[in-house]
Amino acid sequence: MKTYSRILAALAVLAAGTSLAQTYPSRPIKVVVPWPPGQATDLAARIVSEALVAPLGQQLVIDNRPGAGGTIGSEHAARSAPDGYTILAGSSGPISISPNMQKVGYEPAKDFEPIALLVSTPYILVVHPSIPSNTVQEFIALLRDNPGKYNYASSGTGATSHLVTEFFNGQAKVKAIHVPYKGSGPAMTDLIAGHVSYAFETSAAVLPHVKAGRLKALAVSSAKRAIALPDVPTVAEAANIPGFDMRAWIGFIAPTGVPKDARARLAAETQKVLETPATRDRLVAAGLEPGDLTPDQFAEFLKGQNDRFASIIKGANIKVD
């Protein structure tokens, strides 16, 4: 009798899990975007969310909650019910960087579970045309011969572009002066004008200027060459700096405790739509490279990003102004 009861209990648990897998989602899913409309995270989240409507059979509703460098919306998502009906469009700033620089109302590794890496985007090392270097090796030699003479732009102190450049400078053993701006737009304007010498910025920010000859692209920060600039080498290969892989990333993550079946279905369906030509073409056209990681690989990637940014911030003693 006891054995029979145990079998019934096991079947009930299995049935409950199967039922959840079959019925989830049964209502619209809210996607919290901690940035304003039109920003890269918002754009990636909207493109993927639109593609997920058909396979999931429910709407994915974008909920923009900008402020404090993405930390306000991220905290809101962290405190939401872990039921699979609220997910966060997380990104490198509020998840990998801000918690290592300032006090925020959440702990990424503790409060979130990874679902899927939507996109990543490499940073492009660009210099003003007047710089007498046409390769990254020549540029590093120039900086080493003139320590402190040249300066670099970033979209702000503690921004990903700032940290990528600090990592490059440290690995290349060069010294330059940091000039922070309020956004990549003003930074690129001054770089084009020759007021600063170089910068690492996203392909979306620099590609039009590179194609127009206003800037020279010397290398990309990712482990693989950028889709948008296949002829530009990586820092790792061109400067002989093994392991140099710095990217901005955007991905779906959920409050810790989300049902396993819900998380698994979201991850599987998201990966499927990322592999469709229509979705990939829209993302690539926006300067974003579609992700291809499993949830476990995404978790490992996030840990690596956190550790690397934490090391850069500590090593350079970077503080929020």
Mean pLDDT by 10 residues, the chain (321 residues): 46 46 88 92 96 98 94 97 98 94 94 96 95 97 97 91 94 96 90 97 88 96 91 95 91 97 97 97 90 92 92 85 60
Q: Is 68 a domain residue?
A: yes
- The predicted pLDDT at position 273 comes to 97
- The predicted pLDDT at position 19 comes to 46
- The predicted pLDDT at position 321 comes to 60
As a whole number of Å, the end-to-end CA separation of the chain is 69
| Domain end marker among 238, 273, 300 | 238
Q: Based on the structure, what is the number of domains in the chain?
A: 2
Domain CATH code at residue 257: 3.40.190.150
HEC per residue, 131-162: CCCCCHHHHHHHHHHCCCCCEEEECCCCCHHH
| Domain end marker among 197, 212, 238 | 238
- The predicted pLDDT at position 13 comes to 42
- In this structure, are 8 and 111 located in the same domain? yes
> Radius of gyration of the chain from Cα atoms?
22
| Domain end marker among 190, 208, 238 | 238
Domain CATH code at residue 167: 3.40.190.10
Q: What residue numbers bound the domain in which 71 lies?
A: 2-120+247-316
- The predicted pLDDT at position 1 comes to 47
What are the DSSP calls for 169-235, one per residue? HHHHT---EEEE-SSHHHHHHHHHHTSS-EEEEEHHHHHHHHHTTSSEEEEESSSS--SS-TTSPBH
Q: Is 57 a domain residue?
A: yes
